[in-house]
Structure 1
Amino acid sequence: MALEETASRTTTEMVPSPEWNGEEEKNIFVRLGHQVVDLYNDNQYRVIFASYTFSASLGCAAIMYAIQKQTDAPATLLEAWYVAISCFSGCGLTIADITKWHWTAQVMMIVAMELGSIALCSAVPSMLRLRALWNIDCKEVIPSDALMVKRHYRVNLVVVWSAVVYWFLMQAFSILFLLIACQMSPWWSIFHTASGFNNAGFALDPRNFAIPELIDKPQLILLFIFLIPTGNTLFPVYQRILVWCWSKMGRRFAKSETETVVPRGRWFLFNLSWREFSEGIDELYTYPTLYYTHLFSTKSTVTLLGMWLALSTTDFLMFSPDYGSSAFVSTNHQWLQALFQTATVRTAGFCILDLNKVQLGHLMYWVLAMYLSSYPYMLTDQAIRTASTKTKEEENADRDLVIVTPSADGSDMESPLFHIDPNAILHMLNPLNFNATKIVASSKALIETSREKINHIAEQAQTTCATEIGWLYVACIIIAYTEKYYLADGGDDAPVLRMLFEVSSAYGTVGLSLSSFEKPTLAYSAIWHPLAQFMVVMMMYFGKFRGLPQTVEIDWVANIVNARRAAAENGEKITDVVAQVQNIPSPVSHQLVTFTSAAVERAVVDATQDQLEMDVVRVDEQAELSSLPPQQQQQQTSDEKHVASHMVEQADNLEVRKQAEPHISLHHSATDDQSTPADDDDCR
């Protein structure tokens, strides 16, 4: 034993004990901090919107609780929070009888509905981008970057304007129609318009819309059939139509502002002149996915409308066996009642039928219809296309080019220069950044690229469905354990179906409910324990986030500008298109050609439409080329050289034409006066 102790002591003395200096723990915390920052940057918009949702709904709930506490029908804090998040998310479920609440508490319900309006919330990304663009000092960047910042600032301002105007016009039209054509009271018109447009589904009568007096007013029912989709599923459709109308209107009013007159800002256009507004709205209409999360291209908009019509038609036809049954509270206009319920079943939550008497198969379809919505999938597809468009913007950050040649009378006339490929012009001005050779893709490459896009969208949809079903499954398990008494011996028919219907309605932010016999005017969750009611609140929260795009880039324009500024500071050569055009001695006789930022962007994006796609399949093309016989390889290579020589010939022709013309003047924007971008103190 003594020898073992001596050997152990000797070994301990020979091996020095490591000294703790905290460096390893410090590095762990630093890496963890970087991961948190990266996670926030990747989900910045969702974090901001989640904070806004939580604070707004909780603030409205606190005010409702304080108001009802002083009345004869007090509400608990959980009930007030339940109603507040139901208003904000546009769900419409309630565990309290809001028809007996004080009118000031009902006003707070309207406030919560409007704060969560999809039309207003769609402007939040643009507001965040405006803040990021406002912080850029245009005097410290090159002129072409100043043009890009100015263009994006104006277009995002137009996005906010269009969202606010849409939100106001739709509800103002509904209120006036209810007052004049339907002879409804002002308070009823205001409350139900807010509830219908924001898809909340609340009503001032416990029977909701299942009232014979309302059913006998078909113009009222038709109004809400139109109003309900405008605030949710068909919002991108109607918004695109209005943006097209604003574009036509802006061009007409912009003609009154000549180039010699300094544009005057209009307060109703957020201090934009008509020419600035027209330029911004045209840019938005041409590139909707680049600026607006809730505005799609024409093809995607038609697809969304088609999906909505298909689902609505299917639901409407499923009412055929129910005609003449006790599910209809009135025998008048049963087809109109079915059409109204069809319009509300996936979003609004208004009820014009006795749901407990609707056939079981139809109820099972509604469980799926409330979960399945065409809107989130369109937003997923839109997020993918936005990332592709943003990549084009980053690769062509120097395309804000305006070439103006004054004519004799100052009128806008077409010039032969307009028919020249913009890539040839940009290649001549900036050969480092623009390639005049357009990649010619084979049919096989285009097919492979299309398949990759379809597979990418399918993967996104599968991931979204798996995540959503997981949340629903966990919520149902917790509620089933909590409410095992009511689900087993509660006295209601099909209690499990009622639970699934309630959870699907909460997550889909619909608001329909198969009420219990104990509380027939409230949601089925009104008889549940607080834990189960809390799970429904969480489902409404997650349902509100369901319609958000996967990612929203907020600072990407600022990142482009900062990256170019850092590259210039490091000694790298940054070619400025604006500076090169100013040095071109040119001029034209009596024609005016204007490559505005929007026009050049359209041309450049069209000319480089396949650029990103070809990067993906270029390796496959090279492999395919190497497998061909030598003669075919030479033939394909000669075809590509022919295309390149044709583009270079266009650039040479432009050079000759440029030398033969007298003068070209560059303006940094078609909406500004005679100053240059570098002279502007404020790029806004």
Structure 2
Amino acid sequence: MNIFSLLQRLSSFQIIVLSFAFLIGTGTILLMTPWATQDGQGAALLTACFTAVSASCVTGLTVVDTAAYWSSFGQLVILLLIQVGGLGVVTMAVAITVGMGQHVSLMQRSTMQDAISAQQIGGIVRMLRFVLKFTAGTELLGACLLWPHFARDYGWLQGIWMAIFHSVSAFCNAGFDLMSSRGGGSLMAYAGDPLVNLTIMGLIVAGGLGFLTWADFSVNRLHWRKWTFQTRIILLMTALLVAVPALLFFTQEPISGWQALFQSVTTRTAGFNTMDIETLSEGSRCIMIILMLTGGAPGSTAGGIKTTTAFALFMTMVSVLRMRGDVECQSRRIPTETVRHALAIFVMYLFLFFGASIAIGYLDRAPMIDAMVEVSSALGTVGLSIGLTEKLSPLSQIMLMFLMYFGRVGALTMIYALHKRKKAVPCRLPEGRLTVG
């Protein structure tokens, strides 16, 4: 059986899961080569694999200093893993097919639809072209805005590389940086630089809103009444999850307004920081955990349970409190299947979050709040760390790798990949009465 016949036997969800595994494996091998490290010895298996998982799953958690440990070749490999992982391996494969002038098969279109969370298979190739153009244009704009500042500090040639790397990393919500030894780590040296702050935040939000949202903008512009229901919900949730936490950070911590706003934006999925998060209070760390688990929009470069999932859960609670039979909002009814999916995703994330936090706390004798921060960062593919990840045992680091992989692939994709859909049962079983509350 050749590879093509095998792929035809797989579902689109199984292809997505395996494509990320293939990307991680390829990245691990490349990072283990002597050319990938500064010392010319190559990285150890666990170090290479952890970095490949983190980059492919656009997380940003690291066990070594990215700028000091990896060579230019190693950094290039990481950048390519971030770009491919951010857009999705399937998206890039279909893009290559289109670029070569070949016909895109129905299986490829279906897999692409599931990869970007499109609601219909029609126009998927046109959507692909939009995704590639929007990504290239946004990342190029971000790099152009960042270059003058990085050129000033690193020289014009190194500044180009720094601008490109951080623009891609920010748009793909990865959080990898090449300046960890400068100014305290990550983007702390630019905490008071409005242009760098606004550019990075803009790139993070652009990647986190999702390609379907931007496609809606491109068609309907600012005619908000024509926006889809999902677009309006994503924008509402994004605005709330940026403004409210920023205010809480500003009032709880001795930080500037720029730092509070940046921390609110980056915490949901990006992994950059302009302040020392190890100094944050437990209250602020709890806010970070909630934001990291929530994540960005579906069909985006962000992870987490997604803003739409959180909204569906909240409106379900509201409908119960109002004694309504349906979950309603903005003159629309949210389907029961959507609510069931949202509940399943939420419970799975909670189970993994608490289970992994307890396990890491037990294995490494780490404070529970610290373990919860690292676990939520991995599960939400965020990348923010309070310095615990590199100190963890190999078993705990492997646990974080699984969480990053799960968080990037997605809960429903993982479920559908592991189980074949069964035909609907023609009859329904009798009810079993169960008292809750």
Is TM (by shorter chain) over 0.5? yes
CA change 1:380–1:308 in 2 (3 A) is: closer
- 1:65 Cα offset (Å): 1.1
Q: Give CA deviations for 1:225-260 in whole Å, capped at 9, x if unaligned.
A: 111111123543333223457xxxxxxxxxxxxxxx
* Counterpart residue number, 2:23: 56
Distance 1:53 1:111, change over 3 A: same
Residue 208 of structure 2: SS of its match in structure 1?
Answer: coil
Supply the distance in 1 between the matched residues of 2:240 and 2:310 (Cα, whole angstroms).
19
C-alpha separation in 2, matches of 1:538 and 1:134: 26
- Residues 533 and 183 (structure 1), Cα distance of their counterparts in 2 relative to 1, 3 Å cut: same
Q: 1:228 to 1:69 in 2, by over 3 A?
A: closer
| CA-CA distance at 1:178 after TM superposition | 1.9
Deviation, 1:482, is 2.5
Q: Distance in 2 between matches of 1:88 and 1:134?
A: 21
Paired residues, what number?
359
* 1:191 Cα deviation from its structure 2 partner: 1.0
Aligned to 1:176: 144
**Contact 1:379 / 1:547 at 8 angstroms: preserved in 2?**
no
Which residue of 200, 208, 215 maps to 2:185?
208
Structure 2: distance between partners of 1:163 and 1:153? 15
Task: Determine the C-alpha separation between the residues in 1 that align with 2:210 and 2:121.
Answer: 27
Query: What are the residue-to-residue correspondences of 1:63-462 with 2, within 5 Å?
Result: 63-66=30-33, 67-68=35-36, 71=39, 74-100=42-68, 101-118=70-87, 130-132=104-106, 155-180=123-148, 183=151, 185-206=159-180, 207-212=184-189, 214-244=190-220, 298-322=228-252, 325=254, 328=255, 334-373=256-295, 375=297, 376-377=305-306, 453-462=334-343
Instruction: Summarize the Cα distance change of 1:153–1:44 in structure 2 as closer, same or farther, 3 Å threshold.
Output: closer
Tell me the residue number matched to 2:398. 534
Q: Which moved more, 1:467-476 or 1:86-95?
A: 467-476
8 Å contact kept, 1:75–1:96: no
> How far is the alpha carbon of 1:319 from its aligned partner?
1.9
Judged with a 3 Å threshold, the aligned counterparts in structure 2 of structure 1 residues 162 and 359 are, in CA distance, closer, same or farther, namely: same
Quick one: distance in 2 between partners of 1:125 and 1:350?
A: 30
Q: CA deviation at 1:378?
A: 6.0
CA shift in 2, pair 1:534/1:106, >3 Å: same
TM-fit CA distance, 1:477: 4.0
Residue matched to 1:543: 407
Which position in structure 2 is the counterpart of 1:505?
Answer: 377
TM-score normalised per structure 2: 0.72
- The CA deviation string for residues 429-484 of structure 1, in whole angstroms up to 9 with x for no partner, is xxxxxxxxxxxxxxxxxx8797984543322211111122222333234334432x
Partner Cα distance (1:237, 1:161) in 2: 15
Deviation, structure 1 residue 90: 1.1
Hey, what's the Cα distance between the residues in 1 that align with 2:142 and 2:264? 20
Separation in 1, partners of 2:54, 2:205:
18
Assess if the C-alpha contact under 8 Å between 1:68 and 1:75 holds in 2: yes
Distance 1:352 1:341 in 2: 7
Instruction: Calculate the TM-score normalised by the size of structure 1.
Output: 0.48
User: Are 1:312 and 1:343, in contact at CA under 8 Å, matched by a contact in 2?
Assistant: yes
Q: CA deviation at 1:543?
A: 0.4
Name the aligned partner's letter for residue 482 of structure 1.
L
Which deviations, in whole Å up to 9, do the C-alpha atoms of 1:550-590 show, x marking residues without a partner? 899xxxxxxxxxxxxxxxxxxxxxxxxxxxxxxxxxxxxxx
In structure 2, C-alpha distance between the alignment counterparts of 1:353 and 1:175, rounded to whole Å: 22
- Per the TM alignment, residue 153 of structure 1 is displaced from its structure 2 partner at its CA by 8.8
SS at match of 2:291: helix
Structure 2: which amino acid aligns with 1:311? L
* 1:400-438 CA-partner distances (Å, limit 9, x unpaired): xxxxxxxxxxxxxxxxxxxxxxxxxxxxxxxxxxxxxxx
Percent identical among aligned pairs is: 23
Structure 2 counterpart of 1:479, one-letter code: I
1:147 — aligned with what? none
Give the direction of change, closer, same or farther, for the CA distance of 1:536–1:63 in structure 2 (3 Å limit): same
DSSP 3-state at the match of 1:87? helix
User: Gaps spanning 5+ residues in structure 2: where?
Assistant: 1-7, 110-119, 153-158, 298-304, 312-324, 417-437
Query: Counterpart of 1:232 in 2: which secondary structure?
Result: helix
C-alpha spacing 1:154/1:181, structure 2 compared with 1 (3 Å)? farther
Amino acid at match of 2:373: F
Moved more, 64-73 or 372-381: 372-381
CA distance in 2, matches of 1:175, 1:69: 25
- Residues 58 and 174 of structure 2 are in contact (CA less than 8 Å); yes or no, is this contact kept in structure 1? yes
Q: CA deviation at 1:364?
A: 1.0
Please say if residues 58 and 175 of structure 2, whose CA atoms lie closer than 8 Å, have aligned partners that are also in contact.
Answer: yes
Query: How many Å apart are 1:528 and its aligned residue?
Result: 1.5
List gaps (5 residues or longer) in structure 1: 1-39, 136-151, 246-295, 329-333, 383-446, 488-494, 516-523, 553-684
Shift of 1:345: 0.5
The counterpart of 2:349, out of the listed 448, 454, 468, is 468
